[in-house]
Amino acid sequence: MTVDVFAALASPVRREITSLLLDGPRPVNDLAAHFTMSRPSVSEHLKVLRDAGLVTEQRHGRQRIYRLEPAPLRDLSEWLHPYERFWREKLSNLRTLLDEEDL
């Protein structure tokens, strides 16, 4: 996993684009229709996602179709897993403490 993935996902717009692509590949015009920004601005965000390996672009004539790539997200999930376990234990301990306080 690289810093590029974190940087790419730091933007709410890019996170929304990845969410839209969960349903399957979409043309850039379809993605751009979900935002109030210009199509070139959406294309800039797609370039960042592409450079981070989060999406791929395929051309069909004049149309560009974007597809979500799962590998970087899987790597990110695997990296975060120990932290998730850590916080679950902490929250469980807090719940136990609060339940004891209610007695």
pLDDT tens-digit map of 22-45:
999 999 999 999 999 999 999 999
Pick the CATH number of 3-102 from 1.20.200.10, 3.30.465.10, 3.30.70.20, 1.10.10.10: 1.10.10.10
Cβ neighbours for 72, distance < 8 A, ≥ 6 positions apart:
1, 2, 5, 52, 53, 54
Q: Where are the domains of the chain?
A: 3-102
pLDDT at 2 over 70: no
pTM equals: 0.77
Secondary element (H or E) of residue 67: strand 63-68
Section 39-52 average pLDDT: 95
Secondary element (H or E) of residue 44: helix 39-51
